[in-house]
Structure 1
Amino acid sequence: MIRKNILITGASSGLGKGMAIEFAKQGCNLALCARRLENLELLKKELLEINPNILVFIKPLDVTIPEDVFTIFHAFKSDFENHNQTLDRVIVNAGMGKGAPLGKGYAKQNMQTAVTNFCGALSQMEAAMEIFRTQNHGHLVVISSMSAFRGYPRAMSVYAATKAAVKSLAEGVRIDVLNKPIKVSTIFPGYIQSEITDAIAKPPPFMISLDKGSKLLVKAINKEKANAYVPFYPWYFFKLLMPFMSLKMLRKF
């Protein structure tokens, strides 16, 4: 099934913006939301310059406010219906990477990351699945991380825990809709250049550009597999090795 009408959260920058650009090149209609409306307005202009034949809807959204998530998702659904279209795919992408080792006085920042990355994702998945169950079709895409497979030290501790949580949540939803015309995909990006990776003091290994990463993400999403590792090399092989890594190895990694 061709998924032409796509909702992306956290679309004002980074991976969300990169994916929006790639989908626009493919002729997809887009519903984009994020906290920074001014960035979305600039992105809409850019997307319509890339492809003036697509529809682009934008709305501000803080995913940590559950009632707003439901309101905005249903508003986007109505936007598509007004053009005789249905919402085909929702990409749960909004997130943040604030964090510090526990007990170091950064409890507020760690909690912000936990609430945004997990509770916010839960609200998005609830709202998306409500729409998909009603129309009996759709593709739910959850952006997790390669950090979901083991615990991570220092500033990554809470971030990795939230990505493990959404990985598990997405799998649970996938089980619920087995044999139904609703697909659920979990995407595990490695290090792709973004605002989150820019905040890391030491450049992480195997980093790829946002442009390349966005192309690979969209390619993986369009395949609609249950799980995808982006880029496949070397991260799929790291996934196989991670269960056998000692805590000392993880600390260095």
Structure 2
Amino acid sequence: MLRRNILITGASSGIGLGLAREFAARGRNLALCARRLDRLTELREVLTKTYPEITVEVRQLDVTDPSRVHEVFEDFRSALGSLDRIIVNAGIAGGGPIGRASDEEGNLALLRTNVLGSYLQCSAAMSILREQNVGGHLVLMSSMSAKRGLPGPLATYAASKAAVASFGQSLGADAVGTPIVVTTLYPGYIRTEMTDTSGGEIPFIIEADLGTRLLAKAIEREPGSAIVPSWPWKPIAATVRLLPTRVVAKLS
């Protein structure tokens, strides 16, 4: 089924920006939101100039604001007439080891955005898709980090992405017998502003253009879940669950 009108959160940079470009090239109308409205406005100008047949709506949004999330999603639906696919992508990295006072605020900010923010987006999305009752696609952007609890500075991020994956699994079960499809994606390392600030060498990282192209391809298939790219991350996902804790401790 062709999903004509697509909402993407966190669309001002990284994976969200890449997906906006990918779906614009496929002739889809876009509803793009993020905290940085100036970047979204510039992106809309580029996309509508390159693809004059599409409509691009942009709104500023902090996904941790409950009333604003619902307001913006409803505003997008009104502007485009319907929302056929909603991609819950907005998220942040960072934080630090649990129990260290200097990292407390960073960890709390990460949890507010990745867990509370994802919940609020899912709530607004499912409300709209259920009300439309004509079929719809909800996509949640988790991470390979969700596959196993990780130590040190990765602990809170991994836990937050595991929560996103759990939301996707739960909503997928809720959607059985309805026209709504729910997809949870587990990206491996894709080069973005987020990875560029991590420091050090990142194993198996792929460039942003390739990563977002593969993600868009997976989204169009509408599976229940997908690991992207499949190699080498599928074997890693199968293996990491079996690793002894003493081995996992060395992954920080």
Query: RMSD of the alignment, in Å?
Result: 0.9
Give the structure 2 partner of residue 131 of structure 1.
Answer: 128
Give the structure 1 partner of residue 204 of structure 2.
Answer: 206
The unaligned stretches of length 5 or more in structure 1 are none
Distance in 2 (CA, whole Å) between partners of 1:245 and 1:194 is: 28
Query: How far did residue 184 of structure 1 move?
Result: 0.2
Distance 1:175 1:38, change over 3 A: same
Query: How far did residue 80 of structure 1 move?
Result: 0.8
**Per-residue CA shift, 1:82-135, capped at 9, x if unaligned?**
xxxx21000000000021111222100100000100100000000000000001
Please, which moves more after superposition, 45-54 or 113-122? 45-54
**Per-residue CA shift, 1:28-56, capped at 9, x if unaligned?**
00000000000001111121133111000
Distance in 1 (CA, whole Å) between partners of 2:94 and 2:145 is: 15
Give the structure 1 partner of residue 15 of structure 2.
Answer: 15
Distance in 1 (CA, whole Å) between partners of 2:199 and 2:80 is: 42
Instruction: Name the % identity.
Output: 46
Whether 1:102 and 2:94 are equivalent positions in the alignment is no
Q: Could you say what secondary structure the match of 2:168 adopts? A: helix
The unaligned stretches of length 5 or more in structure 2 are none
Whether 1:39 and 2:39 are equivalent positions in the alignment is yes
**Letter of the structure 2 residue corresponding to residue 123 of structure 1:** L
**Letter of the structure 2 residue corresponding to residue 107 of structure 1:** E
Give the structure 1 partner of residue 27 of structure 2.
Answer: 27
Distance in 2 (CA, whole Å) between partners of 1:150 and 1:18 is: 27
Give the structure 1 partner of residue 57 of structure 2.
Answer: 57
Distance in 2 (CA, whole Å) between partners of 1:148 and 1:199 is: 20
| Deviation beyond 4 Å, 4+ runs, structure 1 | none
Distance in 1 (CA, whole Å) between partners of 2:161 and 2:45 is: 32
TM-score by structure 2 length? 0.97
Matches within 5 A, 1:169-180: 169-180=167-178
